Amino acid sequence: MSAKSLGQIHTVNNFVPVNSSGEILNVDLPGALTDQLQRMVRQGNYFKVVGIDMSLDTVGTLGGGQVSGFIRYYAPTKGRCEAFRGAFKSMRKVMDLQGISMRDNKMYDFKCPINDDTSGATVAFPNRATLDGLNGLSLRNDGNQGASIFHVHNESVRPTYTGSGADLFDSGFDTLLQPAAGGTDFVLNDTVAYSGNHDEASLQYEEIPFMLSWTPDTTDIATSLQWRPDPALFLAVLCGQLQVYVEEINVDGGASAVNLKVATMVSGWKSIMGNPDKKSRSQKKK
């Protein structure tokens, strides 16, 4: 079976010095691709990531270090896409009330970061959407849920299963083998596995762990990340927002920091703004 052709691959490069644990690098794929291609690549898409390369470099000529952490992102589930479309519609209505047309400004795009981390990269997120002029919107914002696209959406989504795990399974008829005062439901450690409503926008990140090292003035082994999916597949990243979180860092040889280099390869993107449950006219005719 031959591998599926994905077409042209665009590479987005990010470079940031790291000197302490807890540092964050936000990778804004639509923003970088807009600058590269000199045309608007909108955030209302899922982006097809076919590779991620990560490595370390020294700050200066000596020293190095080791860095571990994870890359987090959101996959484009039904509930998350609905949440983004709902927030976009709210923004459009508010702009209409003030006599502003989105279409007239070719530079405008409804953009928001993956979360509201207080690092400078998130605070200075370019052209960040806001409904009140003060609080920037995020896909997830635990500290201010009124500015969180997923939290606001989930307020109107009711889970199908609201009871405890003990209420999920029935023990059936009372029989000679199973009297009324006892019996079994044939399940141990009863747990509610999911909400039962696929319209919910899950707040749980998808994550890719990594461990990197580079110390050129010693004989230590250098490690890097070269992440690739199956050649016929891709990683779908909602809104093209990834976040590299540094969980731990150790520096060697008197170095004060190390440079973290990230290359993200994108084969294309596809809009999430249409409703997948709405059938097109051509489908209705068939």
Does the residue 113 lie in any domain?
yes
Please, what is the average pLDDT of the chain? 86
Higher pLDDT, 274 or 273: 273
Higher pLDDT, 55 or 177: 55
Does the residue 96 lie in any domain?
yes
Per-residue pLDDT at 139: 97
Count of domains for the chain:
1
Does the residue 103 lie in any domain?
yes
27, 242 contact by CB (below 8 A): yes
Does the residue 222 lie in any domain?
yes
Does the residue 40 lie in any domain?
yes
Does the residue 123 lie in any domain?
yes
Q: Is the pLDDT of residue 253 over 80?
A: no
Percent over 70 (pLDDT), the chain? 83
Per-residue pLDDT at 1: 40
pLDDT in tens, 125-148: 899 999 999 999 999 999 999 999
Percent over 90 (pLDDT), the chain? 57
Does the residue 285 lie in any domain?
no
pLDDT in tens, 200-248: 999 999 999 999 998 887 667 789 999 999 888 999 999 999 999 999 9
Does the residue 4 lie in any domain?
no
Range of the domain at 18: 10-159+195-272
